[in-house]
Amino acid sequence: MHALDGDREKFPKVEDENRRTYDGMLLALDRSIGRVLDRLDQRSIADNTIVVFLNDNGGGGSTSLYAAHSRNFANNLPLRGHKFDVLEGGVRVPMILRWPGMVPTGEVYGEVVSGTDVFPTLVKAVGLAMPAAQPTDGVNLLPCLVGKNDTKLHEWLCWQNRSWLPKKKGAFVTPTRNVHNSAIRKGDGKLVRLNETIGSKAPTPAWQLYDLKKDIGERHDIAGKHPEVVDDLGGLFDEWRATMHPTIE
């Protein structure tokens, strides 16, 4: 991580040097975004420009489990997990959309959306139609952004990626071939399955169930109390995964 000395110096009360660098980087990001938005205003094209700000994943961890280049000393609390995880700390990120004159300022859409929604939203915004023969996971967000529509655009969302595990005891964690983490969220219910060996005859790890409304930190597994929810969400996940191309390892 790198930050300008002047930006780092603006956080004298932050004792941890790495965290101070991280804060300096965020300050530089904020300043640079402001320059872009100011230029759009100066050129009188802000009303005809959609700006989308979002992250591709949650903040990275800072523990010695990660190699130095994979640490960025983010603080995702109260969320559990970091970049590379399917836990909320890895997949819950901000999304901000700016379109003066069309999208109201200061409004918050409280339902779940996905980064895959950006493409169909921008296609619709410029007056085009999605290719008829092209499947897409995303949906057009405009009905809920420019109007008063509070409809849930996604009934559920799924995630699956490689697990990060050490190749040997005491080593740094790395993406591990054929070992995946998975999750599905529907409403406030979220299933999480860790370290599933794809294609193995070994028993599949059990799903963990969390109520995100009461337990945003995913600390209390309630799968044993709600087997019907596990069956419902687990079935939806299996249906979704069956539509995906086989993993390329």
Quick check: is 90 in a domain?
no
Cα 19 to Cα 8: distance, rounded to the nearest angstrom: 9
Residue 174 has pLDDT above 90, yes or no: no
* Percentage of the chain lying above the pLDDT 90 cut: 61
Residue 147 has pLDDT above 70, yes or no: yes
> Which ranges of the chain does DSSP label H, i.e. alpha helix?
5-8, 17-42, 88-91, 118-125, 142-145, 227-242
Cα 119 to Cα 36: distance, rounded to the nearest angstrom: 21
Quick check: is 226 in a domain?
yes
Cα 159 to Cα 56: distance, rounded to the nearest angstrom: 13
Quick check: is 111 in a domain?
no
Domain that holds residue 2: 1-43
Quick check: is 115 in a domain?
no
- The alpha carbon of residue 220 and the mean position of all alpha carbons in its chain are separated, in whole angstroms, by 21
Quick check: is 127 in a domain?
no
Quick check: is 117 in a domain?
no
Q: How many domains does the chain have?
A: 2
Quick check: is 188 in a domain?
yes
Answering whether pTM is above 0.85, one says yes
Give the Å distances, CA to CA, from 103 to 133, 200, 219: 30, 48, 36
26-49 pLDDT, tens digit each? 999 999 999 999 999 999 999 999
Quick check: is 126 in a domain?
no
Q: What is the CATH number of the domain that holds 210?
A: 3.30.1120.10
